[in-house]
Chain A
């Protein structure tokens, strides 16, 4: 082990300086924030599924899944729901505001391994945010992947994230978009059902397929069970988990599920790995 004296230089808690370049309302309580690094040489090369901490100085920082893809060079995007101290403070900011960003952290969806396969993308609520880079990657390289089924669910039609992109997704070849809500309204023409029920109804075939899931833990749990019933193997189901997190560095020991850190060993886990967890996530 190196000596402590050799490790004093870089403070891993200091964020990269960044500027908010764009803020777009996605739903009544979710905004899409685009950040540009003030010093591009800081570098922030990330892959679908990874996350970063965004700082609203004075309020604090919190972890969010990156919802953009690095290769498009459209800035670092985070879809953030106003729900606590930091997210509320972020929601008050306007383009031009100075923020901080740390990361990227965690593992990622191995998109290269999914080439040639059918991909079932299942997201609930704000949990859809970290799956958007999977969709973007697949649609930008459409011929590399087989059939794509996107299932996006939310509490109400207004709460569906990325609504302006649904048409583009649906127009892509061999790509199906299924929208569902817990409670519809008069204009709602999509499904009114819980995500696990939609999965049971659609019965996606496990043949040559990968299912990628993110959402509230209860939704993840029931969707996993549903996919198992349809014959999906433990290595064909992939999910990304959320955990209370303070550092992202494997130190604060708040995000552990048993002996695994969500921040460092995850957030992306296969059902095979989850089945081996000693503790419930």
Chain B
């Protein structure tokens, strides 16, 4: 038996949530669908598919003060940032939720990033299964699934006249308190991702293909626009700088991308990744080699956003296939 909720009941539940907390959900703004706070349930784009930007902004904002500093007489007074607001994110897809969950690896490793930990603690994620994956999606190749409930607090799965409700965590159960769920024997049909990417063994293959001229050729067309990093649910590199306004100093953390020129340039002028090839290789080595070596999972969840967004069609799915072939060749050569 499963528990279900009708569309109307879901809307009234979400309506109640937004009276007490910030409710973030997919909203259509101009021609984009983005995770934004909603003032009423009518604003939610229920059938939008995956959003144009991932919801990582709600855990790792594109700009966030780590602390503020103010001159007080002869001293400097520091006020660390505190996240007060309880937030519920509705409509997060399993791939995006997994993206957030795997970033616990670097961010909660000792010493924990307290802001990330606060965002995580204050946020409840209501996931939505993907009933019709998009053509660019390949989550099943990256260890995910359209119905994967492992990284959300509650998973909703759309069925004919409503949603199957799966309370995954304690946090999720708490949010569902007082909501009357119906017992039902319906089950969601499990869709599949059409695109299969040969990700198995990619970590070894990318290591073998590290010195191949492939990366330089591929990077020739890269415009280093950084869009791949900005849309990615698992890109987490950042910059830190100060902003001063009216005597108040904010130490800001902002998104940064390894594709930026000068990302690795040090004070004396030396830059170990001065060419685009080594920068592009860094992006894919981070996701497919360094991240899994350090934290276990691959640093890509198969959401396909970079595939759609790249203006010059640099496609991680093709790269994984190419690198598997290259790695196999290098493997033969060295044996």
Contact = CB atoms under 8 A, between A and B. Distances in A.
Given A60-B240, A217-B272, A244 B263 contact: yes
A181 to B, nearest CB: 17
Contacts, number: 149
Interface of A is mostly: loop
A252 B240 contact: yes
B113 interface: yes
Interface string A226-263: 00000000000000001110110111111111110000
Interface in A10-42: 10-15, 17
B242 A1 contact: no
Nearest to B210: A278
Interface in B62-76: 66-67, 69, 71, 74-76
A252 B106 CA distance: 9
The size class of the interface chain A forms with chain B is 35 or more
B265 A8 contact: no
A11 B242 contact: no
Interface string B316-330: 000000000000000
Contacts of B251: 13, 60-61
Contacts of B282: 256
B114 A17 contact: no
Interface string A254-281: 1111110000000000000000001111
A58 B74 contact: no
Interface of A: 1-15, 17, 57-62, 81, 83-84, 87, 98, 100, 125-126, 216-218, 242-244, 246-247, 249-259, 278-281
Q: Which 4 A-B pairs have the closest CB atoms?
A: A7-B112, A4-B120, A5-B121, A7-B117
Interface of B: 66-67, 69, 71, 74-76, 78, 80-81, 104, 106-109, 111-118, 120-121, 207, 210, 236-242, 244, 249, 251, 253, 256, 258, 263-268, 270, 272, 278, 282, 285-286, 289-290, 293-294
